[in-house]
Amino acid sequence: MARSYRYLLVGDLAFVFPGQGSQIVGMGRAVYESSARARQTFDEADRILGYELSKICFEGPAEKLNDTSVAQPAVLATSIAILEAFIESVNEKLGRRVSDGTEPRGVAALPAALRPRFVAGHSLGEFTALVAAGVLTFQEALGLVAERGRLAASRGAKGAMAAIVGLPADEVDRVIKDTLPLGNAVVANDNGPSQVTIAGDTESVARVSEALTRHGARRIVQLRISAPFHFPDMGRIGPDLASFMHTLHFREPVVPVVANVSALPHVSASAIPDALVRHLSHRVEWLRSVRYMAERGASTFVEIGAGQVVNGLVKRIADVKLLNVSDPLSIAGALSVLKERTAAARS
């Protein structure tokens, strides 16, 4: 059934945000040093969390940054800081100087010509997309992912995740079924035509990885995570996460947010908490999500966050233009590519 939206879908941009595993020591430092809005974002994160998240992002150690209870707020805060630095640069070019802090946050602060048609996040990146679309405030989302990480570390599933390159999801599903008892490992992320992520207990992930190598996988990469997400056993923390979300105010998105679990836009703000609970234990449908956005007019994908992990996946799915926004140099480069839109916004 066709869906109707409160917003008019315009433009050809999609903003996409990376998830856990994209973290790297030093991320966000360059925008912190160059952008007042990015600096405010990191400083706010430090205050909210009660520890120096910014120092861990900028200086490490990597072992601390990779711990899921730290990595989740770190990835969110870094992506939002970079988004804020991008928006600040846009508004400076347009002569729209920062006001008293009451102006809209996220993509609502951009002129219409630079506002995305869709936003989406890969795995944990969906929480960043919700902030970008105005569904949650940065403070709310940071508290939510910190609680998600804490619950996962203390009471969630234990195990590992690995990226499998060279095989599609249906083949990986078959190998898992032929190798293990039901539920010991699953395809956690369908990342593209020939790349998936598996999750499960550590022994099962190792056994499946060996079987997939024999089956023709070109490469297997163990992910820098300390808990397996999008895995059925992680669903055990769902009720606690749902209780925490009852304290938050979910607003209607200003642009469509394509959900990981359905590869379709969230139908309403009230439906989002349930989708985020299912997000713990259900597959990330990234392949279908990118195809959905591309088939509905998104022809330029802008990855906003540390590195270019998501663009690396998108380019294997759709024939679209790719831009990266991760530091002051790439922000300037993206604005140069988008200069016609910036000129249109100025006129």
User: Under 8 Å CB-to-CB from 72, ≥6 apart: which residues?
Assistant: 20, 124, 145, 146, 148, 149
Structure tokens at 112: 């219409």
141, 130 in Cβ contact below 8 A?
yes
31, 81 in Cβ contact below 8 A?
yes
125, 257 in Cβ contact below 8 A?
no
**Dist CA 271 CA 332 (whole Å):** 37
Just list the catalytic residues.
123, 230
Q: Tell whether omega for the bond before 273 is within 30 degrees of 0, i.e. cis.
A: no
